[in-house]
Amino acid sequence: MLVSNEIIKESGVQFGTSGARGLVMQFTANVCAAFSHAFIGCIQTEFSFKQVAIAIDNRPSSPAMAQACAKAVQQLGLEVIYYGVVPTPALAYVSMQDNIPCIMVTGSHIPFDRNGLKFYRPDGEISKADEQAILNATAEFEAITDLPELTVNNKAAVQYVDRYTSLFDSQMLAGKRIGIYEHSSAGRDLYAPMFEALGAEVIALERSDEFVPIDTEAVSEADKQKAKRWSKEYNLDFIFSTDGDGDRPLVADENGDWLRGDILGLLCADAMNIEALAVPVSCNTAIESCERFNHVTRTKIGSPYVIAEFDELSKKYQSVAGFEANGGFLLGSDASVNGKEIKALPTRDAVLPALMLLAAAKENPIYELVNALPPRYTHSDRIQNFATEKSLVILAKAKEDASQFLQQLQFDDSNVEQINITDGLRITFVNGNVIHFRPSGNAPELRCYAESSTAECVIYLVNHALENIQLINN
């Protein structure tokens, strides 16, 4: 017999900001089974269920990982419902309605040589405490020697599309030309029918047979140019895309300019008349300065931290939501749209913010909605293949003397007004500029976020910081 915590520890797979992540070679059948046994064992003390749902993204490694998870579920005498390739929020939503747990096989936006597992209890995404319980569990199981065949059930896809099309008039998007940047997104077969059901003319763009690691927080220059080109070539009113597992949106306005995820989240929350928000510390400060919300709580980066705040906010406010700088929108309470109820979905979702933005843009163009916000610009980028241990050493020294750190990075202005160590190191300059360093929780990367009053300055801050971080590290 194998023991789950021993197998997991030997694998080197770790929990990141959202889910367990690692190299594909680390996710052997027994490692996937160990996580599955540990997860189910941990929640069986709180919930009663006879089924477990499983779904995947389009990574080449995902089907076999799903089979291994399914085998573990079967070893426990439980039934597997396999939804195939669907967005993570689609799996989470249908499972919450059915009051059963689920496992999503996805590495989200990280490169295809990596993958991951996301776990959902019957009442939603697992917490950081649940993650520790899974890592420490001593579930015993037999080694996986064969993988079961899985038959796709389309219920999750159908219910996810209906969740959103049922909120709006079937002609809400009539006259709109919407481009869907499909690449390898897990939801690429759902989005065109969804937008078409609301009256839009849809143009499919750049579907890929190979996995494309789209990072909605660090949009590549190539993707920026593509959007502008597509917008002109096809006369588009809107471009919609997501990351690999469909829980982070990437949307472009009438000019083909991609919106920052936190600006999209702000506009969505405003359109839904949300009272109270929980957002990570890295999000744009326009959220507070626009004065459209009764309360804003700042958290560590990662959906579990945002979700953890919902319980507190719900004690004081009727409508609660959150979003991240990557654009993923989390609906923390039931809400009303067009007089129709939409159920809470406390996990990242890409579709709701896109549709709420389009609904808000019925009267004014998207770019005008953005321009009406306080002029605070954010930008982010990352150094890839940068060891987490290396990042932690650099930031530990920087926290001791932020001004000296800025001088090392050759910033002309090293006057520090405030530092925030909620998650990484966030430095606010006396002139109002902000620069924020944080090791990624999902991959060996050092992320840099910045905020300023001009688009040119914020790009300079990030580029200058990352260039000089590499110089002082060599």
CA distance 89 to 373: 29
Return the CATH number of 2-153, one of 3.40.190.10, 3.40.50.280, 3.40.120.10, 3.30.365.10: 3.40.120.10
From CA 433, how far away is CA 469, in angstroms rounded? Answer: 18
Whether residue 442 is predicted with pLDDT greater than 70 in this model: the reply is no
Which amino acid, residue 274? Answer: I
Summarised one tens digit per residue, pLDDT across range 138-156 is: 999 999 999 999 999 999 9
- pLDDT > 80? residue 474: no
User: How much is the pLDDT for 385?
Assistant: 87
Taking a C-beta distance cutoff of 8 angstroms, is the pair 331, 346 a contact? yes
Q: Are the C-beta atoms of residues 250 and 328 closer than 8 Å to each other?
A: no
**57-86, pLDDT tens digit by residue?**
999 999 999 999 999 999 999 999 999 999
Q: What is the CATH number of domain 166-371?
A: 3.40.120.10
Angle between helices 4-11 and 29-43 (to 10 degrees): 130
Question: Is the pLDDT at 197 greater than 90, yes or no?
Answer: yes
CATH topology classification for 377-473? TATA-Binding Protein (3.30.310)
Spatial distance between the Cα atoms of 465 and 412, rounded to a whole number of angstroms: 12
* CA pseudo-torsion sign 397, 403, 408, 409: positive
CA angle 322, 328, 333 (to 5 degrees): 35
* Beta carbons of 103 and 69 less than 8 angstroms apart: yes
The number of CA neighbours under 13 Å toward the Cβ of 187 is: 32
Tens of pLDDT, residues 169-178: 999 999 999 9
Torsion on CA atoms 381, 385, 386, 388, rounded to nearest 10: 100
| Contact between 212 and 220 (Cβ < 8 Å) | no
* Annotated catalytic residue, options 4, 11, 18, 108: 108
What phi-psi label fits residue 206: left (phi over 0), alpha (psi between -120 and 50 degrees) or beta? left
Rounded Cα distance between 448 and 437, Å, is 5
Identical fold, 166-371 and 377-473: no
Does residue 349 surpass a pLDDT of 90? yes
Query: Is a pLDDT exceeding 90 seen at residue 220?
Result: no
pLDDT greater than 70 at residue 110: yes
Q: Is 106 helix (H, G, I), strand (E, B) or coil?
A: coil
Structure tokens at 74: 């079967």
Could you read off the pLDDT of 314-337 as tens digits, one per residue? Answer: 999 999 999 999 999 999 999 999
Length of the chain: 474
Position 412 scores a pLDDT of 81
Average pLDDT value for residue range 257-274: 96
Q: What is the mean pLDDT of residues 411-435?
A: 90
Q: Where are the domains of the chain?
A: 2-153, 166-371, 377-473
Alpha helices in 28-184 (DSSP H): 29-43, 62-75, 88-98, 128-136, 155-165
Two tokens, residue 301: 């980066």
Average pLDDT over residues 214-240: 91
Block residue for tokens 């400060």 = 285
**DSSP E strands, 369-444:** 377-384, 416-420, 425-429, 434-439
The model's pLDDT over 284-315, given as tens digits with 9 standing for 90+, comes to: 999 999 999 999 999 998 889 999 999 999 99
Please, where are the H alpha helices in 290-445?
303-314, 351-360, 366-371, 388-400, 402-408
Return the pLDDT at 388: 86
Q: Running DSSP on this structure, what letter comes out for residue 25?
A: G
* Catalytic residue list contains 440: no
